[in-house]
């Protein structure tokens, strides 16, 4: 009986789909937060591409969201957080572009002249791991 259970467990482990790498953000505050992320999307196939920002993910209190679901291909991920009325919650020094509505923006330069909003993103060092979780906590 033990051998059958062990073989069944081994079969499940070997046939299970591989765990997806991801970048998650967990909101440990009492406020709802809106999250935008940026990452370097430069590849050998497209060396002219630089940074890309995407948003928004709305994360309730004590909840998490997978904001990047594919394998992390860069060491640094950039995060911008704001409250539901648009006030920044993180003070970052890396300027990238955002938009009031759901967006994907290529390039982190000349935000205003391209019709976007410039915002200060924080840099998160993922240490080249495939999976990373950022925890946001209350600052008040």
The pLDDT tens digits of the residues spanning 62-117 come to: 999 999 998 888 899 999 999 999 999 988 999 999 999 999 999 998 999 999 99
How far is it, in rounded angstroms, from Cα 27 to Cα 49?
Answer: 31
Mean pLDDT over the full length of the chain: 83
Report the percent of the chain where pLDDT is more than 70. 79
What is the token pair recorded at 30?
A: 């009492």
Specify the higher pLDDT residue, 58 or 7.
58
Give the residue extent of every domain in the chain.
19-137
pTM listed for this prediction: 0.80
């Amino acid at each position: 009986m033990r051998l059958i259970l062990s073989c069944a467990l081994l079969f499940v482990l070997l046939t299970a789909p591989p765990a997806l790498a991801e970048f998650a953000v967990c909101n440990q505050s009492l406020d709802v937060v809106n999250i935008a992320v940026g990452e370097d999307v430069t590849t050998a196939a497209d060396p002219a591409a630089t940074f890309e920002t995407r948003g928004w993910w709305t994360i309730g209190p004590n909840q998490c969201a997978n904001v990047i679901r594919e394998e992390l291909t860069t060491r640094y991920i950039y995060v911008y957080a704001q409250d539901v009325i648009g006030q920044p919650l993180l003070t970052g020094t890396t300027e990238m572009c955002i938009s009031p509505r759901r967006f994907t923006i290529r390039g982190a330069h000349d935000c205003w002249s391209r019709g976007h909003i410039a915002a200060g993103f924080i840099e998160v060092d993922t240490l080249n791991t495939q999976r990373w979780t950022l925890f946001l906590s209350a600052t008040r």
